[in-house]
Amino acid sequence: MKILCVRLRNYRGIEEAEVRFGPVGLTVVEGPNEAGKTSITESVKILFEYLDSSKHRNVEAIKPVHRDVSTEIELQAESGPYAFTYFKRFHKKPETTLKVVKPKPENHTGREAHERAEAILRETIDVDLWRALNMQQGEELRQANLEKQTSLSAALDRAAGGHSTDPRQESLFELIREEYAHYYTERGNEKKELQVAQRAEENALNEVASLQRQFKDLEDDIDRVALLQNDLDRFGKQEVEIENEISGYQKSLDEIQKLEAALETARLKLDSERKSENAARLEKESRQDLVDRVNKAQKEHAKLEAAIASSGPAVQNAEEGLGKAEESADSAEKCRKDTETLLTLRRADFDYFNNKLHLEQLRERKERIDRARQEAAVAEDLLTSNQVDEKRLKKIREAERELVIARAQQEAGSPSLLLRALTDLTLQIDGEQASIGKNEDKVLSVPDRVRLTIPETLDIEVTAGARAVDLSQRFEEAQEALTSACTAAGVSDPDEARNAFEERREALRQIKNRDQTERDNLRDLTYEQLERKVIGLGKSIPVYPGERVSTPPLCLDLESAQGELRKAEKSLYDAGRQWEIARDTLNSAREVRDRLRESSSETRIQLDLKTADLKQAEEELSRARARIPDHELKEKLDKSTEEVRFQEGSFRDAENALKIKGPEKVKTLMETARDSLLTIRKKRKNAQTGLTEVQTRLKVLGEDGLHEQLHAAESRLEHVRRESAALVRRASAARLLFETRKDERDKARRAYVAPLREKIEQHGRLLFNDTFEVEVSEDLVITSRTLGGATVSFDSLSGGTKEQLSLIARLACAMIVGKDGGGAPLILDDALGYTDPERLKLMGAVLAKAGQACQIIILTCMPDRYRNVGEAAVVRMG
Amino acid sequence: MTRFLHTGDWQLGMTRHFFSEGVQERFAQSRFDAIRSLGRIAKEEDCRFMVVCGDVFESNLIDRKTVFRALEALKDVPIPVYLLPGNHDPLNAASVYRSSTFLERKPPHVHVIEDMIPIKVDDGIEIVGVPWYSKRPLQDLVAMATAPLESVVDTVRVCVAHGMLDSISPDPDDPAAISLHAAEMAISQNKIHYLALGDRHSLTQVGNTGRIWYAGSPEQTDYNEVKSGFALVVDLDREKVATREVNVGAWRFIERKRVDMNTKEDIEGLKRWLEEIDDKERAVVKLRLVGTLSLLFHDQLEELFVYISEILGALETRTEELVVIPEDADFAGFGFSGFASRTVERLRSDAQDAGPHGIKARDALTLLVRLAGKAQ
């Protein structure tokens, strides 16, 4: 939209004014303060917002003070395809006209004109954004405090919320928020009022429930009273019935009691008669017992007498048998003792011979030991003199072997002399006697020199050459070595050495033999023990024959002594057997005799006792018969028996009479009835107590006005419920409204963010450089500026930069207002007061560039500030 | 000719949930005032006695205060009064008539009918009472009371009873229903000469004898009562009977079962009708509203109700069939645009929902309109 011309008449302090604006680019409206510059922008708002008849205080405010005149506003403008003149007269003779010249002519008046103008606006521009922009015009930028940005968001809220453009008034959406906040916290939780309402409802409900319970309890009590009264009547009747029953049973019981007394009497009589009968029977039985006792004693007495008569001979026989047995036993014992004596003798004889033999053996063993010891002593002596041990012998042998070798070498190396006897001949060779048979050859080696002497005939001396002398010398050395070895061993030659070695070995063997002989012959004894035994036995054995009894004679040798010993042992065994048999026989005879003697004695004692017993019984019987004769006793018993039989009949009759009455049944019934009576009385008492309790309760609680209380509580509950429901409904409505509004608002804000940012950056790059970027929040405020990659939050920017960015933001806003991209007039009222001259110059370029896209109207009292805005129309006011 | 006053169903202590505390008190006081009015009428009409046919009290469990006030009012009645226990105040264990409060303060001329034995009121006049002993009797008590009676030749007998006659009972299987036939037989056999009934709150004659009447309640208690607020002056002898209704009640219960509500004119029409109600303080009005209203008109209607309910005894409204539909006009003049318009559109769309969500959306719109008005 572009404002072409505004004409005012009687507007505030202005009587008449007309301002024409350049169709594109900038228009600078110059004029001192109070010249009415701001009225131009305000009048455009008033023109579109209010009907000519409006009494709104904003409309009232434009009325000239102290003048009763009408105010006129006329606007020539273009918007989208439309070009129109819009006129309104307020206060007096209100009038509205709209004359559209493009795209086709239209004429409207009155409300129709107002609505058509509004429709043209809606069709061509974003009315909300335009209104928001209008609300900002010349306000925030002029504020000294530039800490806050121009609140486009708040302006949009106010614009969308209705006609009120007065920022001093609360916006609709602030009211919606307040309404919501009345019920909910910022986090959406319920506030106290809602909670209190819910609690109040719960309390009221509890009160009603409590009273209903009390009411019901009382109603139940009323029913209970009726039931308890019924119970009391019923129990009363039952009590009477049971009492009557008890009375009937009592009569029967009285009769039964009489019959029981009669029965008891009969029982007593019967018992008495039975006792009498029993006494008579006992008496009779006692008499019979006495008679039986006498008879029995007599029989037993006779039997005992017979037994005593027969026991005398038996005892005599037993005595005799015993005498014989004693004799046999004595004889057997003597025989046994003789045999024992003989056996002792024979055993001594055997020992004698045996010891004798043993002594010889011991002596032999001792001799063997002694001999071995002697031989060993000789051997030990030899060992001390004989030094030829194995080592020495070996040495001698080696010396001997060396000598043989030396001799052989001498013999081989020295000249030899063959002697052949033509006859048996005796000669001396080197002084030694030698003989040669006839035709016998004898070779002599001449190691050095040999001298042959035929006695008395010839003396021949043969001498060997030089080598033979060496060999001979070696031979001699060997011979000396042998001699030396033999001498060291204490022998004269090797043969003797060998003999001495054998002797030494023999001596060693004998010493060893002595040890073995000692072990073999001493066995488990020491030599001293052996020696003591030999001496002991040597003393004892020779004296035995002299000390021994003469008969029987001593046996000749050990073997016969052993035979006699065996014989004596056998005899003793036989005599022992005979003695044992005789002794057993004797014991048996003695036992028989003792038993018979004891039995006889016992029988005699029994007879004495029985005699006394019989006498006593006979006396007792006599006394009893004297008192009551036997026949009287029998008569008495018979009589008693008859009486008992009679009493038994009487008792049975009484018993039958009682049985017919069924006493047990009647007693049981009586007891049951008495228990029932107690139970029913208890029940009646309980019912009476219950009734009294309930009646008391009813009396106490029945007059408390529970009926009214309950009704009052129910009314309260209904009231509280209604109130609570209404409150909840109001709160829900507030919440829904708040949330729906917020949702839609956020959506709308988001739609503005991108184009706004684009336009801000487009124009900002003129002022800063190509790296200029901004962040625009959903609340449509610049949150930060980025320049050369460095981002600074809006609040941290300088006052001048803030002002410039705010102006650019407003420019951007003005540019996106037009739906066809044409924008809306941007009115700046003395902006850029904080901008330095350099930036002012750049801002001039920005405004000039923006002026190509939308109309910019600058109201100023300082025209110099805008000298860098390029080509601009200038209007002077005041 | 014997003249007596026939009344019943005083329902003293009755409460109504739709009354505010103050109105409830007025309503209660009116019922005590009615007793005094009956006393005055009885005196003016020279009645020999007064029979109150049951439900003298709303309940046996009423407040002592109610009993005090009832007895205080009865003191002012200058003739013998015979009170019959009914289904609301049966002669059971909690009977108000046996309470110490009642017994200690009962004026001597006030009698409680406690059994069915004929009571000699005066020479030649007897009352046969049929009291209720429980809330749910299981037989026709009137038939039970009249069956053993002998016909009388020199006495006029008034049977005082409570309960529904079988001919008008809504429950045909009620064992306690009073047989009209048996009652008429008793009348024809000269056992009784007039059956004074209580329980039905509307003045009603039953049968053709002219001797069986419900006197109705002296004060109206509910909307469905056809003719309440009356008592009967009865002139009776063996040959003739004459009844005359006398108005006692001050309260009215008015119910309009359908009030069409679609336009501004409808609202204004209802307003006029309400304005024309006499003695509004004692009028209880119940309205069932049917129709469709815009937010604006609904708001106006609400305003009307707020105003009128302050004046009336009570106002009950049933709005289940009153649909509130937001219309364009509701939002015209507020200048909503942009997201505000879209908010309205969304809520209006939701408001078409028939369920609770729709109600909530309509409430939200109503709130929006209210707040927008406030913002302006």
Helix (H) or strand (E) holding B232: strand B230-236
Is pLDDT at A350 greater than 50 in this prediction? yes
Measure in Å the smallest separation between the Cα of B367 and chain A Cα atoms.
Answer: 7
Best B368, B374, B376 member to test A by mutation, with max A CBs in 10 Å, is B368
Q: State percent of chain A over pLDDT 90.
A: 24
* B66 to A705: CB separation less than 8 angstroms, yes or no: yes
What is the C-alpha to C-alpha distance for residues B254 and A298, in angstroms, rounded to an integer? 141
Q: What is the mean pLDDT of residues A460-471?
A: 75
Task: Give the pLDDT of residue A492.
Answer: 84
* B339 to A127: CB separation less than 8 angstroms, yes or no: no
Lowest mean pLDDT segment, chosen from A121-130, A158-167, A230-239, A340-349: A158-167
Measure in Å the smallest separation between the Cα of A215 and chain B Cα atoms.
Answer: 8
Lowest mean pLDDT segment, chosen from A32-36, B176-180, B188-192: A32-36
What is the C-alpha to C-alpha distance for residues A776 and A764, in angstroms, rounded to an integer? 13
Are the beta carbons of A486 and A432 closer than 8 angstroms? no
SS3 A177: helix
Reading the block at residue A177, the tokens are: 């928020």
> How does pLDDT run across A822-837, given as a tens digit for each residue?
677 887 776 776 677 7
Q: What is the mean pLDDT of residues A87-112?
A: 92
Angle, CA of A62, A63 and A69, to the nearest 5°: 145
Task: Give the pLDDT of residue A159.
Answer: 63
What is the C-alpha to C-alpha distance for residues B187 and B192, in angstroms, rounded to an integer? 5
Q: Where are the domains of chain A?
A: 390-522
Task: Give the pLDDT of residue B267.
Answer: 94
Task: Give the pLDDT of residue A822.
Answer: 63
Burial environment of residue A173 by CB neighbours within 10 A (0 to 12, 13 to 18, 19 or more): buried
CA A646 vs CA A278, A311, A638: distances in Å: 15, 61, 13
In the DSSP assignment, the letter for residue A52 is: T
* B340 to A162: CB separation less than 8 angstroms, yes or no: yes
Lowest mean pLDDT segment, chosen from A73-87, A772-786, B298-312: A772-786
Is pLDDT at B89 greater than 50 in this prediction? yes
Buried b / exposed e over A744-756, threshold 16 CB at 10 Å, is: bbeebbeebeeeb
Measure in Å the smallest separation between the Cα of B243 and chain A Cα atoms.
Answer: 35
Radius of gyration of chain B (CA): 27
> How does pLDDT run across B183-221, given as a tens digit for each residue?
999 999 999 999 999 999 999 999 989 999 999 999 999
What is the C-alpha to C-alpha distance for residues B48 and A207, in angstroms, rounded to an integer? 47
Most confident of A537-541, A617-621, B115-119: B115-119
- Could you tell me which of A508, A497, A515 has the C-alpha nearest to residue A379? A508
CB pairs under 8 A between A and B: 161
Q: What is the mean pLDDT of residues B50-56?
A: 96
Task: Give the pLDDT of residue A153.
Answer: 63
Q: What is the pairing mode between strands B212-214 and B230-236?
A: unpaired
Reading the block at residue A171, the tokens are: 């916006």
Of residues A704, A712, A732, nearest to B360 (C-beta): A732
Task: Give the pLDDT of residue A148.
Answer: 42
How many helices (H) and strands (E) in chain B? 10, 15
pLDDT mean across residues, chain A: 85
- Could you tell me which of A116, A648, A540, A587 has the C-alpha nearest to residue A322? A587
A668 half-sphere exposure, CB direction, 13 A CA radius: 4
What is the C-alpha to C-alpha distance for residues B23 and A330, in angstroms, rounded to an integer? 156
Of residues A162, A170, A711, nearest to B335 (C-beta): A162
Lowest mean pLDDT segment, chosen from A63-72, A277-286, A564-573, B268-277: A63-72
Q: CA A717, A722, A727, A731 torsion: positive or negative?
A: positive
Of the pLDDT bands very low, low, confident and very high (cuts 50, 70, 90), residue A142 is: very low
- Could you tell me which of A819, A825, A813 has the C-alpha nearest to residue A77? A825
In order of their start, the domains of chain B are 2-247 (3.60.21.10), 252-375 (no CATH)
Burial environment of residue A244 by CB neighbours within 10 A (0 to 12, 13 to 18, 19 or more): exposed
Single-letter code of the amino acid located at A786: T
Which chain B residues are closer than 8 Å to A699 by Cβ? 99-100
Of the pLDDT bands very low, low, confident and very high (cuts 50, 70, 90), residue A149 is: very low
Q: State percent of chain A over pLDDT 70.
A: 94
* A704 to B61: CB separation less than 8 angstroms, yes or no: yes
Are the beta carbons of B127 and B82 closer than 8 angstroms? yes
Task: Give the pLDDT of residue A129.
Answer: 76
Task: Give the pLDDT of residue A54.
Answer: 86
* B93 to A694: CB separation less than 8 angstroms, yes or no: yes
Measure in Å the smallest separation between the Cα of A159 and chain B Cα atoms.
Answer: 8
Is pLDDT at A164 greater than 60 in this prediction? no
Is pLDDT at A140 greater than 60 in this prediction? no
- CA A438 distance to own-chain centroid: 129
What is the C-alpha to C-alpha distance for residues B360 and A498, in angstroms, rounded to an integer? 152
Q: Mind spelling out the 3-state secondary structure of B152-206?
A: CCCCEEEEEEECCECCCCCCCCCCCCECHHHHHHHHHCCCCCEEEEECCCCCEEC
Task: Give the pLDDT of residue A440.
Answer: 84
Task: Give the pLDDT of residue A776.
Answer: 86
Is pLDDT at A167 greater than 60 in this prediction? no
Q: Which residue of B lies nearest to A178 if distances are taken between CA atoms? A: B371
Q: Any idea which residue has 């009052």 for tokens?
A: A712
Q: What is the mean pLDDT of residues B12-32?
A: 88
Which chain A residues are closer than 8 Å to B66 by Cβ? 705, 708
Buried b / exposed e over A684-723, threshold 16 CB at 10 Å, is: beebeebbeebbebbeebbbebbbbbbbbbbbbbebbeee
Is pLDDT at B132 greater than 90 in this prediction? yes
ipTM over cut 0.90: no
Question: What string of DSSP letters covers B319-346?
Answer: EEEEEE---HHHHTTS---HHHHHHHHH
Peptide bond into A552 cis (omega under 30): yes
What is the C-alpha to C-alpha distance for residues A267 and A767, in angstroms, rounded to an integer? 149
What is the C-alpha to C-alpha distance for residues B91 and B88, in angstroms, rounded to an integer? 10
Which chain A residues are closer than 8 Å to B342 by Cβ? 744, 747-748
